[in-house]
Amino acid sequence: MSKSQLDEVIHSFLVEMKRGTMTIIVLTQLQTKQYGYSLLTVLEKKKTGIEAGTLYPLLRRLEKQGLLQSEWDTSESRPRKFYQLSDLGKEVLERIKKEWDLLSNQMDHFLGEVL
Amino acid sequence: MSKSQLDEVIHSFLVEMKRGTMTIIVLTQLQTKQYGYSLLTVLEKKKTGIEAGTLYPLLRRLEKQGLLQSEWDTSESRPRKFYQLSDLGKEVLERIKKEWDLLSNQMDHFLGEVL
DNA sequence: TTACTATAGTGTATGTCGTACACTATTGTC
DNA sequence: GACAATAGTGTACGACATACACTATAGTAA
């Protein structure tokens, strides 16, 4: 089979894996207050592969779900929207950490069977 | 905030996390030949939470993608559809194992920052 | 013999979220 | 003045797990 078919399947797999993990990553980074563009550069440096077109809608979605709260800072020359975990967001992050550990152990169990 | 709101968010998160991980699990289990209903009971015992309505379409989708191959066994009283990894499937599983390790390490890094 | 469960599978609409753009605005730098 | 960097909004699309409906029949118990 072709190399590109393999790469295509792997790429699709990675896209699907990001569903869920993107939320985890963003929640961990917003335990302390941070604005969108700053978070974007941090996540780019950490090689998450996230783009602006993905991050900003995700921030808004998480805020809509009540996990984040935001406030505008217009004191600088450029207005910036700062985000931070809400109380619900903090609880969700605690639970997600536990769920991730369970899932990760399960995946390690299954992948331990790979010949 | 309500307990059920927290549970709802966690549930949604787990659903998203299954995208991707379900494929991994099924591929690991079909390194050796197995039929659908048997695989279903194995995965139920291993607490993956997968249902028949999810597994059978996934098996067909993976076969369509060329990762699995199947053959009918009609020698028993009941016809059974056996599945097994294709050559592409084996390569994909090797690559996915590596990608999972990278992703898992990255998640552990981020979750290590949880206060 | 009948009724029910277990065994085995097919088909499909829906909701969710990352992707991939288009778009806007303006500050800062050369 | 032109361009890049800084900062953000809006939205259509594709992929996949979910959640059913549906089919068929062998095996078991009464």
Structural domains in chain A, sorted by start: 3-111 (1.10.10.10)
Q: What is the mean pLDDT of residues B63-80?
A: 95
Tell me the β-bridge partners of A81.
A72
The fraction of chain B above a pLDDT of 70, given in percent, is 97
Question: Predicted confidence band at B2 (pLDDT cuts at 50, 70, 90)?
Answer: low
Cβ proximity of A102 and A95 under 8 Å: no
Q: Taking all residues of chain B, what is their mean pLDDT, rounded to a whole number? A: 94
Question: Predicted confidence band at A80 (pLDDT cuts at 50, 70, 90)?
Answer: very high
Q: Say yes or no to pLDDT of B64 above 70.
A: yes
Q: What is the pLDDT of residue B51?
A: 95
Instruction: State pLDDT tens for residues A36-59.
Output: 999 999 999 999 999 999 999 999
Long-range own/partner contacts, residues A63-71 (CB < 8 A, 24 or more apart): A65/B9, A66/B1, A66/B5, A67/A27, A67/A92, A67/B9, A68/A30
Residue A110, chain B, CB below 8 Å: the answer is yes
Hey, what are B71's tokens? Answer: 């053959």
User: Alpha carbon of B44 to those of B52, B55, B59, B105: distances in Å?
Assistant: 10, 11, 16, 28
Q: Which of A11, A27, A42, A15 is nearest to A83 (CA)?
A: A27
Residues of B in contact with A107 (CB under 8 A): 21, 24-25, 100, 104
The ipTM estimated for the assembled molecules is 0.89
* Interchain CB distance below 8 Å, A23 and B16: yes
Instruction: State pLDDT tens for residues A18-32.
Output: 999 999 999 999 999
Residue of A nearest to B3 (CA): A88
By residue count, chain A amounts to 115
Q: What is the pLDDT of residue B115?
A: 80
Q: Which of A68, A13, A95 is nearest to B14 (CA)?
A: A95
SS (H, E, C) B32-87: CCEEHHHHHHHHHHCCCCCCHHHHHHHHHHHHHCCCEEEEEECCCCCCEEEEEECH
Give phi and psi for B74, each to the nearest 5: -110, 15
Q: What is the mean pLDDT of residues A85-94?
A: 96
Q: Which of B23, B97, B12 is nearest to B65 (CA)?
A: B23
* Interchain CB distance below 8 Å, B21 and A103: yes
Q: Taking all residues of chain A, what is their mean pLDDT, rounded to a whole number? A: 94
Q: Say yes or no to pLDDT of B67 above 90.
A: yes
